[in-house]
Amino acid sequence: MTESTPSYLAGHLAPVADEIEAVDLQVEGALPTELTGRYFRNGPNPVPGEDSGHWFTGHGMLHGVRLNQGRAEWYRNRWVRTKAMDGVPFHRPDGTVDLAAGAANTSVVKHGGKVFALMETSYPYEISRELDTLGPCDFNGRLTTGMTAHPKEDPETGELHLFDYGMRPPFLTYHRLSAAGELVASFPVQVAGPTMMHDFAITRNHVVWLDLPVVFDMELVGRGMPYQWSDKYTSRIGLMGKDDPTVRWFDVEPCYVFHVGNAREDEQGRVVLDAIRYSRDAWFQSWSRSGGAPRAEQAAALAVSKLHRWILDPATGKVTEQELDDGNAEFPTVDDRRVGLPNRYLYAVDSAAIIKYDTDRGQVARHELGENWHAGEAVFVPAADSSGEDEGWLLSIVTNSDPTVASQLLVHDATDLAAKPVASVLLPRRVPAGFHGSWIPDGELAR
Residue 88 CA to residue 71 CA, distance in Å, equals: 40
Residue 65 CA to residue 176 CA, distance in Å, equals: 30
- What residue type is 419 in one-letter code? A
The torsion region of residue 414 among left (phi > 0), alpha (psi -120 to 50) and beta comes to: alpha
Does 259 carry a binding-site annotation?
yes
Residue 93 CA to residue 124 CA, distance in Å, equals: 23
Would you list the DSSP string of 275-329?
EEEE-HHHHHHHHHHHTPPPPSS--SS----EEEEEEEETTTTEEEEEE--SS--
Q: Which residues contact 346 (CB under 8 A, 6 or more apart)?
A: 261, 262, 274, 307, 332, 333, 334, 356, 357, 359
Does 198 carry a binding-site annotation?
yes
Q: Which residues contact 349 (CB under 8 A, 6 or more apart)?
A: 329, 330, 331, 355, 375, 376, 377, 378, 396
Would you list the DSSP string of 59-114?
PEEEEEEEEETTEEEEEEEEE---GGGGT--SB-TTS-B-TT-S---SEEEEETTE
Q: Residue 302's CB: how many other CB atoms inside 10 A?
A: 9
Helix (H, G, I), strand (E, B) or coil at 11: helix
Residue 159 CA to residue 183 CA, distance in Å, equals: 10
Q: Which residues contact 329 (CB under 8 A, 6 or more apart)?
A: 276, 305, 306, 307, 348, 349, 350, 355
Would you list the DSSP string of 318-373?
EEEEEE--SS--EEEE--GGGTTS--SEEEEEETTEEEEEETTTTEEEEEE--TTE
Residue 402 CA to residue 49 CA, distance in Å, equals: 20
Cα 32 to chain center, whole Å?
Answer: 26
Query: What is the dihedral angle through the alpha carbons of 52, 53, 57, 60, rounded to the nearest 10 degrees?
Result: 30
Does 63 carry a binding-site annotation?
no
Q: If we measure between CA atoms, which residue out of 396, 399, 433 comes closest to residue 413?
A: 396
Q: Compute the radius of gyration of the chain from its Cα atoms.
A: 21
Instruction: Indicate the annotated binding residues.
Output: 150, 198, 259, 436
Instruction: Indicate the annotated binding residues for Fe cation.
Output: 150, 198, 259, 436
